[in-house]
Amino acid sequence: MIKLLLADDHAMVRKGLQVFLSTQSDIEVVGEASNGRETLEQAALLQPDVILMDLNMPVMDGIAATRELRAAHPQIKVIVMTSFNDRAHVLPAVQAGVKGYLLKDIDPSDLAEAIRRVHHGKVELHPDAAGELMRLMSSPDAQGLIGAQDVHGITPSPHAGEQGNVGALRGIRSHITGESTCSHLERLTPREREVLDLIACGLNNREIADKLVITEKTVKTHVSHLLDKLQLADRTQAAIFALKNGTGS
C-alpha cells in the first residue's frame, strides 16, 4: 500500500484528489496539508511514502518544503502537481529534489500510475516540463556539463539567472538519470530513432503520433521497445540520453 499525503492550499482540490484516489486499491491518502509548514509537520507525523505537492502555497511554498523534506526525510518522495510548466518553476523544483513534476490537467488514471512509478523509484516529468529541461541542457553553455560524472546530488544554485541555472545541470542530470547507460543507438530501428528524437523535443505520445502519422498505440509500442533496448527506465532518461548522444533537436 502506498501512503500518500496531499498538500494543496485549495480544499476542493484536496477533496477531489481524495475522492478519486480512494478508488485505487493500492493507494491510501493518510493525510492533508494546506501549506508547506503543515506539510512538514504532517510528514513527520504520518511518514507517507509519497507527497503530492502544490507549488504555490502560503506560509511556505512547495519548493521550500521539498528542500526541507529532502533533508529531514529523504525516503519520502515528492511529486509536484501544478499549473506552471515554465523554466522558472520546473528548474527550482527539480533542483529541490522532486521525483515528479505533473500538471493539474493530467488524466486521473495517469496520475495514479505516476504515483506508483515514483513510489517504485522512477522519475515522472510532464512532457512540457521535460522539454524545458531539455532546452536548457541542450543550450551551448550547458553542453560541456551534460556528460559530467563528478557531481551526484542536486544543490540549489546560489546565483540567479542563466549562468546559475547552468551551474546546477550536473546535479540535475545525476538526479534524473542516475549512472550513464552503456547502451548504443545502433540497437534502435529508424522509426525508434525518430520517436526518440521527438521525445527529446518534449513531445508526448499523442503529438508524436500526429507528427509521424501513426497511432498513439504504435507510439507507445515504439517507446517501450526503445526504453528496453537502451536499458532506460523512462522517457525522461531517454530524452537526456538522446541529447547526450547527439540526437534530438
The domain ranges of the chain are 2-130, 185-244
CA–CA dist 223, 241 (Å, integer): 14
Q: What is the dihedral of CA 78, 47, 69, 87, to 10 degrees?
A: 10
Element of type H or E holding 125:
strand 124-125
Q: What does the pLDDT read at residue 119?
A: 95
The pTM score is: 0.64
Q: What does the pLDDT read at residue 247?
A: 58
Place 156 in a pLDDT band, splitting at 50, 70 and 90: very low
Range with the poorest average pLDDT among 55-59, 66-70, 85-89, 245-249: 245-249
CATH of 185-244, one of 3.40.630.10, 3.60.15.10, 3.40.50.150, 1.10.10.10: 1.10.10.10
CA–CA dist 79, 104 (Å, integer): 12
Report the pLDDT averaged over residues 148-156: 32
CA–CA dist 14, 5 (Å, integer): 10
For residues 136 and 112, which has the higher predicted lDDT (pLDDT)?
112
**Mean pLDDT, all residues of the chain:** 80
pLDDT 10s digits, 13-56 = 999 999 999 999 999 999 999 999 999 999 999 999 999 999 99
Judge whether residue 173 has pLDDT over 70.
no
Q: What does the pLDDT read at residue 138?
A: 60
CA–CA dist 16, 11 (Å, integer): 9
Q: Kindly report the three-state secondary structure assignment for every residue of 81-118.
A: EECCCCHHHHHHHHHHCCCEEEECCCCHHHHHHHHHHH
CATH of 2-130, one of 3.40.50.12280, 3.40.50.300, 3.40.50.2300, 2.30.110.20: 3.40.50.2300
Judge whether residue 143 has pLDDT over 50.
no
Report the pLDDT averaged over residues 156-177: 42
